[in-house]
Amino acid sequence: MKKIIKTNEAPAAVGPYSQAIMLDDFLFTSGQIGLDPKSGKLVEGGVEGQSKRVFENLSALLKEAGMDFSNVVKTMVFIKDINDFGKANEIYAGYFKEDLPARSCVEIGALPKGALIEIELIAHK
């Protein structure tokens, strides 16, 4: 069964898509960038600040679906400058301790709103 997951604790969709979709026991999030859900603006602090905000946004979506980061099975990381990977990876590592999810990471030419990083995930209950 398909269910739309929506929360005010993560930025509203800025286009014709959902924040996340629950399909049976799987959660599929849309890509999250470092937008503050209250102001709608990118947070400051470079890739580190944006990465922290991305994970806060993803955490809110997981929580709304009754999950947490231990449920994550796959992440897709899109980064504007691969040279920032080490900084972003330090933040990333703080959210995953055991049973690490599978991951892809690619450098991308541009992200929405000039973001430095975008992450989407798949989680399973």
C-beta neighbour count of 57 within 10 angstroms? 25
SS3 state of residue 102: strand
Q: Which positions ≥6 away from 77 have C-beta within 8 Å? A: 88, 92, 103, 104, 105, 106, 117, 118, 119
The DSSP call for residue 39 is T
> Which residue among 105, 108, 113, 122 is the active-site one?
105
What is the rounded CA–CA span in Å between residue 89 and residue 84? 9
Rg (CA), the chain: 13
Q: Indicate if 76 belongs to the active site.
A: no
Q: Which residues are catalytic?
A: 105
